[in-house]
Amino acid sequence: MHYLCNHNALFNAECQIITSFAKIFTLAHKAGFVNIIGFPNVGKSTLLNEFLGERLSIVTKKEQTTRHRILGMLNQIDYQIIFSDTPGILEPKYKLQESMMNTVNSTFADADHILLMIDLSRIREFGEAFMKKLIGRQGQITVLLNKLDLTDQPKAAEQHAFWKEKLPKSSVFVISALHKFGVKELLDHIVEILPESPPYYPKDQLTDKSERFIVSEMIRKQVFQHTSQEIPYSTEIVVNTFKESENIIHMGCNIFVERDSQKNIIIGSGGKMIKKIGTEARIEIERFFQKQVFIELFVKVDKDWRSREDKLRKYGYIN
């Protein structure tokens, strides 16, 4: 399995040279795991992408777009931040969502620091058990009041006061991840509180996910963009072939749905929908890999896969 790295070779070479000098002069290096949590569609993936300068996590207007925990490494000369994008917090209705919530719960156990993201345009209350977890991690949580562009100052001030009362040992930032407001100041804060540590991953590594995973997510994004109701949530993408040459990548992918009626909608009249999904996915994949891409998509039925533990294990949701 290959893991994605930063494309900027010059930056990587400079990092290696300067890191060598840093060792000579015993320059302190910081590294740590920073997990981003919150309700669905609050801007977690947007923030991760902004930090990394890459479209690593897919972003759509629909809730529950993120299913997996995705690590993204921000590497600089004197620090490495391993950000973790997580599924949105919800009450599980089927086994896939149970797996997603298990992923969220695990973020409390392995984080050096937690970013709790709140959508200022849609305030939702956390349950009592979840609030107890937050209070138990005071000092290791930074509250992010996001989407300032969609609300007003009085509401932001009210939420700022609320969270300072609930978590008095935690910092509170008002930001707009989409418009980059307050993101630099937030990053400076994260770097400041990182523990001293050597890097956990190679300095040229961008994520723990493989090329096939990134491709599958980009295709799934287009399904979310162009279909509605239960169809995007019933879809799973599997990349069967990924053959890379110097100038082009050939890939073949299956789009699995739960019922024949969903298969017909994904294909569309005269194959129009599947062609649209493939075309727009290809454009985004080419932008990411900086190569020409040839992609074949096939639609298949895997009945009730979201509710079957064996299928969830097969698709990587359960270890």
CA–CA distance, 222 with 163 (Å, rounded to integer): 36
* Token pair for 236: 């799973």
Alpha carbon 301 to its chain centroid, in Å, reads 27
**In degrees rounded to 5, what are phi and psi of residue 187?**
-60, -40
CA–CA distance, 17 with 21 (Å, rounded to integer): 7
Q: Give whole-number Cα distances, 210 to 2, 18, 111, 193, in Å.
A: 6, 28, 22, 30
Q: Give whole-number Cα distances, 137 to 42, 85, 100, 108, in Å.
A: 21, 19, 21, 8
Parallel/antiparallel/unpaired status of strands 141-146 and 171-174? parallel
Cβ distance 183 to 177 under 8 Å?
Answer: yes
Strand-pair partners of 143? 116, 172
pTM for the complete prediction? 0.87
CATH number of 3-193: 3.40.50.300
Q: pLDDT tens per residue, the chain (319 residues)?
A: 445 666 554 455 555 555 555 444 446 899 999 999 999 999 999 999 999 999 899 999 899 899 999 999 999 999 999 999 999 999 999 999 999 999 888 888 889 999 999 999 999 999 998 999 899 888 899 999 999 999 999 999 999 999 999 999 999 999 999 999 999 999 999 999 999 999 999 999 999 999 999 999 999 999 999 999 999 999 999 999 999 998 999 999 999 999 999 999 999 999 999 999 999 999 999 999 999 999 999 999 999 999 999 999 999 998 8
- Which amino acid belongs to residue 119? D
Residues ≥6 apart with Cβ < 8 Å to 80:
29, 30, 31, 73, 74, 199, 200, 201, 203
Domain boundaries, the chain: 3-193, 209-314
Helix axes 272-289, 211-226, angle to 10 degrees: 140
User: Could you say which DSSP state residue 110 is in?
Assistant: S
| Distance linking the first and last C-alpha atoms of the chain | 17
CATH T-level assignment (fold) for domain 209-314: GMP Synthetase; Chain A, domain 3 (3.30.300)
* Rounded-to-5 percentages of helix, strand, coil across the chain: 40, 25, 35
CA–CA distance, 5 with 62 (Å, rounded to integer): 29
205 CB-side CA count, 13 A: 17
